Amino acid sequence: MAREHPRHVPVLLERVLALFAPVLSDKPAVLVDATLGLGGHADALLAAHPRLTLVGLDRDPSALAMSRERLAPYADRVHLVHAVYDEMPRALSDLGMSTVDGVLFDLGVSSMQLDEADRGFAYAKDAPLDMRMDQTAGITAADVLNTYDAADLARILRDYGEERFAGRIAKAVVAERGRELFRTSGRLVELLYDAVPAASRRTGGHPAKRTFQALRIEVNGELDVLRRALPAALAALKVGGRIVVESYQSLEDRLVKQVLAALAKSTTPEGLPVELPGHGPQLRLLTRGAEQADETENDHNPRAASVRLRAAERIREAS
């Protein structure tokens, strides 16, 4: 039985196990958990498949340390690597691996990162404006707010947060930092309550939700990393191997959908009577659209409410 961390409930765990079972059961296999987090999915996969070797990647040293402890019973079958998931090719090469049977992405901010107030991810808690998934490197959310010009701030809020009032918020941030630089999330939340019109606050959810998402994506380069990571992961999949991706916001899900759909189509020009050699689909989609959690799981795990799961199987070598 997989052990559960008291703060971590893996999202769509049974569905993830079912999707990987055909390619991991009853044989030696390798799976990359590209976003290891607290190791909930990894723990369950290792328990279900005694011949599985798991490569776990995470950019957060704290998460790696906690997962190392959790996965200690499987230590001889686990390789944990401090890396962002677009560094998968290097991580596999360092381990002497070139292809794998499965890749799992559970995107977004982890339960641990939300729970620890000093990380600055949660707008419900006043904390330093950090938001780095790896606190050993990179710029913080405070750096973004205090140094980006109004046009760049508006672009980030619009593109990464899908914030309708991006320009208005950006101008307010620039004006306010002229009086005092931003250091804590509480002060930013106060500004957002003032900047977002009351009518929108009544119908559009918490006024800080979209801004905090945009800042987190910018600080961690999440969409750029995902754009690089998906092709790398798919290139590493053996024929018959599977990829499963859990996304928690529309920008990620749209990108995943586009990448998987493109490789699930033939590239033979329309009108030709036969499939050209080497032009057939590389992937078979395993989900019809994006799958969501059911009501029961949503009731037990609030993080599941926004999940969108997509999966595919490699059916042909990459050209």
Average pLDDT over residues 16-25: 97
CATH 3.40.50.150 location in the chain: 13-106+222-314
Q: Report the mean per-residue pLDDT for the chain.
A: 90
Q: Residue 3 above 70 pLDDT?
A: no
Amino acid in position 161 = G
What digits encode the pLDDT tens for the residues 220-230? 999 999 999 99
- The per-residue pLDDT for range 83-111, each reduced to its tens digit, is 999 999 999 999 999 999 999 999 976 55
Query: How far is the CA of 12 from the CAs of 9, 22, 85, 308, in angstroms?
Result: 9, 17, 21, 10
Predicted pLDDT at 199: 63
Dihedral (Cα; 262, 86, 138, 306), 10-degree rounding: 50
For residue 50, the model assigns a pLDDT of: 97
Those residues whose C-beta lies under 8 Å from the C-beta of residue 106, and which sit 6 or more positions away, are 10, 11, 33, 35, 37, 41, 246
Please state the residue numbers annotated as binding site for S-adenosyl-L-methionine. Answer: 39-41, 58, 85, 106, 113
Quick one: average pLDDT of 71-77? Answer: 97
pLDDT at 110: 57
Average pLDDT over residues 205-227: 91
> If you search the block for the tokens 């490699």, which residue do you land on?
314
Confidence of residue 204 (pLDDT cuts 50, 70, 90): low
Torsion angles phi and psi, residue 247, rounded to 5: -115, 155
Q: What is the pLDDT of residues 250-285, one digit of tens each?
A: 999 999 999 999 999 986 777 777 777 777 899 999
Q: What is the mean pLDDT of residues 295-313?
A: 91
Q: What pLDDT is stored for residue 278 in this prediction?
A: 75
Specify the pLDDT at position 137.
83
pLDDT-derived band at 200 (thresholds 50, 70, 90) equals low
Question: pTM of the full predicted structure?
Answer: 0.88
Average pLDDT over residues 118-133: 79
Taken in order 175, 180, 181, 183, is the CA torsion positive or negative?
negative
Q: What is the CATH architecture of 13-106+222-314?
A: 3-Layer(aba) Sandwich (3.40)
In which residue ranges of the chain is CATH 1.10.150.170 found? 117-220
pLDDT of residue 211: 94
Residue 31 has pLDDT above 80, yes or no: yes
Residue 318 has pLDDT above 90, yes or no: no
**Over 50: is that where the pLDDT of 2 sits?**
no
Q: How many CB atoms lie within 10 A of CB 272?
A: 10
Amino acid found at 294: D
- Rounded to an integer, the average pLDDT of 167-176 is 96
Residues 131 and 27: beta-carbon distance below 8 Å: no
- CB 309, CB 244: distance < 8 Å: yes
DSSP string, the chain: -----TT---TTHHHHHHHHHHHHTTS-EEEEETT-TT-HHHHHHHHH-TTEEEEEEES-HHHHHHHHHHTGGGGGGEEEEE--GGGHHHHHHHTT---EEEEEEE-S--HHHHH-GGG---TTS--BS---SSTTSS--HHHHHHHS-HHHHHHHHHHHH--TTHHHHHHHHHHHHHHS---BHHHHHHHHHHHS-HHHHHHSS-TTHHHHHHHHHHHHTHHHHHHHHHHHHHHHEEEEEEEEEEESSHHHHHHHHHHHHHHTS--SPTT-SSPPTT-S-SEEE-SSS-B---HHHHHH-GGGGG-EEEEEEE-S---
Binding-site residues, in ranges, read: 39-41, 58, 85, 106, 113
| pLDDT grade for 5, boundaries at 50, 70 and 90 | very low
pLDDT number for residue 1: 39
117-220 CATH, one of 1.10.150.170, 3.40.50.300, 3.40.50.720, 3.40.1280.10: 1.10.150.170
User: What pLDDT score does 126 carry?
Assistant: 85
> Residue 8: its pLDDT value, please?
61
